[in-house]
Amino acid sequence: MFIDTRRLENGTHVTAAVCIVGGGVAGITLARELNREGIDTVLLESGGFEPDAATRDLYRGEAVGIPYTFADGCRGRFFGGSSNCWGGWCRPLDPWDFEKREWIPNSGWPFGLDLLRPYYERTHALLKLGPPNFEPAWWEGAINRSDVRRFPLVTGMVRDTISQFSPPARFGKLYRDELRRSRHVRVYLHANALNIATESSARHVTHIDVATLAGPRLTVSAKLYVLATGGIENARLLLASNRVQKDGLGNDNDLVGRYFMDHPRLQSGSVHFSRNWSRNKLYDIKYHYMNSAVASGGTHIASQLALCADVLQRERLLNARVWFSSIFPGEGSAGAQALFRCKQALLAKEQAGWRLRDDLMTMAAHPIDTVGYGFTRLFQPRSLIRGVRFQIIVEPLPDRDSRITLSPTQTDSLGMRRVCVDWRLGQQVRHTFDRTLAIVADELRRSGVAAVELDEPIEGGAWPSSFEKEGTWHHMGTTRMHESPLQGVVDADCKVHGVENLYIAGSSVFPTAGANFPTITIAALALRLSEHMMHKLALASDSSTKISGADTSDDGLLVAAKTVFGMPAQGGRALR
């Protein structure tokens, strides 16, 4: 059921067994799982079914570290969350991404890949992926095309890896009807969480204070609460909930908002493929992204190069992924950019402020660039390629001083303090960029795939002008997971240390980021969290039944059930 919170009476109080804050990949995944188990659930979504400027503005803040875009266009504050602007890339983290690596400070998860493996497998149905198979040889054989071939990697230092593409799954559209028909989940639209209220010791959440831009305010009480608002907003809401703890909820050890991470991205070098490899589509983003030629059984895939685990350890490097980006006629021009935005619109990707009419006029004003770029993208004549560059993303170092804080002066239209994002990248990241590209370049030369000219090293100098300062919009780490409250905000079950009924879902709990795309791991962790929460509610139900003891009348059992699983919502109008 969907409820427009703007239509509720001011001061409405809502109760449930579980309250989820955030209607993105993590929040919707949790809601679907709880619905299947018949658990009374409230999901609070800040926006509606479509983006709107006033709600989008709530995400804005100030970049105080590396110049960085983190609001418009890279997060979606309406039903479906950031799946509305997601590119669809999916690959599980590598096994060593979970491990404590002595050359990477603050690395290591409380568990390994084996624990998440069954949940990764379950994400394939959720995200509309192909089989849970990421073996390059299998996909090469399944596609069976002469222009989709793996490189003959000869040094033993470089490996190729496979990513699958979700269509991409826009959760707000894909699962809307299911949640509309749900008997156990109520989705409150236009409902902005302002404060997580607790009792005097701040060890138990009592309710969430909620506001709408239209005026009405309400409270939501539940047995268990989950924050699923993203890598920036999860930290912001905890820091803003400071009525009992002056530094914010769950922030006893000054960790909330710290260790902010994103994957830095760079284009570099010049690659000259040999004749035998000049038409290969498998590793080039201009050809492998959602290309039917690089697909099997309806599943689109792509391949990236990475260093082998023993090389990372020997060279003391962070993880990284490398692929290629061909340079087309008109590349970077206004016409080409307008054409690319139109393609993104066909993929239903949210683009703040995008208007078809404006881009059509831009393309008409730059016909040569537009036609040259579009013709090359569509028909892929290699004779028109003006060059090929590396594209690389690198695992960020978990840096305590890379962080999210609240602005001392700026507030949004709801009166919440806006965020300050201090994104930092150190010398180890720079070294990983340089050394990874050097090793991959040597591999390509030795294997006869390509001749390579590398740019000047970036270690010890300024970031090059081609550095894409928006990163990849993978906001991670700000409520990191660790068994010790001295080193993490949440424990291995994603429960906030010291708060008995508050959990966090999403990439903000990642202790390290790997060099892969986070959505599939976000979904896997949400599936695991749903099982933990159902188990905890079941234990509470058993305990309540034992406590009620002799009172086994219908009224007595009803009271026990209400105690554990919450009450139905009061007021509100369902959206049809």
Task: Walk me through the domains of the chain, giving residue ranges and CATH numbers.
Answer: 1-88+92-133+166-264+409-415+474-576 (3.50.50.60)
Q: Is a pLDDT exceeding 70 seen at residue 552?
A: no
Q: CA–CA distance from 216 to each of 198, 219, 243 (Å)?
A: 22, 11, 21
CA quadruple 508, 198, 22, 225: dihedral sign: positive
DSSP 8-state assignment for residue 97: G
- Over residues 69-125, the pLDDT tens digits come to 888 777 899 999 999 999 999 999 999 999 999 999 999 999 999 999 999 999 999
CA atoms within 13 A on the CB side of 276: 10
Q: In this prediction, what percent of the chain has a pLDDT beyond 70? A: 93
Mean pLDDT of the 322-350 span: 82
Give mean pLDDT, residues 436-457. 97
- According to the model, what pLDDT value does residue 201 have? 96
Task: Decide which of 273 and 565 is more confident.
Answer: 273
Distance CA 161, CA 175 (A): 30
Cα dist from 309 to 6, 156, 194, 518, whole Å: 53, 11, 44, 20
Residue range 228-251, pLDDT digits in tens: 999 999 999 999 999 999 999 999
Residue 200, pLDDT score: 97
pLDDT of residue 64: 93
Res. 349: pLDDT tops 90: no
Half-sphere exposure of 75 (CA within 13 A, CB side): 25
Residue 221 neighbours by CB under 8 Å, 6+ apart? 13, 14, 15, 16, 19, 206, 207, 566
SS3 (DSSP) at 394:
strand
In what helix (H) or strand (E) does residue 221 lie, and over which residues does it extend? strand 217-221
Contact 496, 224 (CB under 8 A): no
Question: Quick check: helix, strand or coil at residue 287?
Answer: helix
Say how far apart CA 144 and CA 277 lie, in whole Å.
Answer: 16
Beta strand 2-4 with 61-63 is unpaired
Closest CA to 313 of 151, 91, 99: 99
Q: Does residue 9 have a pLDDT over 90?
A: yes
pLDDT at residue 6 tops 90: yes
Q: pLDDT by residue (tens digit) across 353-412?
A: 788 888 888 889 888 878 877 877 777 776 777 789 999 999 999 999 999 999 999 999
Q: Work out the angle at residue 252's Cα, subtended by the Cα atoms of residues 246 and 257, and round it to the nearest 5 degrees.
A: 85
Mean pLDDT of the 276-302 span: 94
Closest CA to 107 of 473, 521, 427, 487: 487
Between 352 and 70, the more confident residue is 70
CA atoms within 13 A on the CB side of 200: 0
The answer on pLDDT for 560 being more than 70 is no
Report the C-alpha gap between 390 and 388 in whole angstroms: 7
Q: Point out the least confidently predicted range of 56-65, 142-151, 422-431, 566-575.
A: 566-575
- Type of residue found at 46: S
DSSP lists the bridge partners of residue 421 as 63, 404
pLDDT at 358: 87
Structure tokens at 107: 């690395």
* Tokens 């894409």 sit on residue: 468
Residue 476 is given by DSSP the state B
Among residues 157, 143, 245, the alpha carbon closest in space to that of 198 is found at 245
The position carrying tokens 């690395």 is: 107
- Distance separating alpha carbons of residues 496 and 202, to the nearest angstrom: 11
By the 8 A CB rule, do 138 and 132 touch? no
State percent of the chain over pLDDT 90: 77
DSSP assignment, residue 93? P
Tokens coding 408: 């001392």
Per-residue pLDDT averaged across 332-351, rounded? 80
State the greatest distance between any 2 C-alpha atoms of the chain, in Å, as a whole number.
Answer: 84
Predicted pLDDT at 280: 94
Distance CA 198, CA 202 (A): 5
Q: Tell me how far apart the alpha carbons of residues 200 and 330 are, in angstroms, rounded to a whole number.
A: 62
**E strands of 177-242, at which residues?**
185-189, 192-198, 205-211, 217-221, 224-227
| pLDDT value for 468 | 60
364 Rama class: left (phi>0) / alpha (psi -120 to 50) / beta: alpha
* Residue-level pLDDT at 462: 79
More confident residue, 76 or 569: 76
Burial class (CB in 10 A: 0-12, 13-18, 19+), 180: middle
- What would the mean pLDDT of 126-138 be, rounded to a whole number? 98
Residue the block writes with tokens 């749903």? 530
- CB-based burial label for 53 (10 Å; 0-12, 13-18, 19+): exposed
pTM equals 0.90
Tell me: pLDDT of 548 over 70: no
Strands (E), 454-567: 502-504
Q: How many Å apart are CA 234 and CA 256, to the nearest integer?
A: 9
Phi, psi (deg, nearest 5) at residue 446: -65, -35
* CA-only gyration radius of the chain, Å: 25
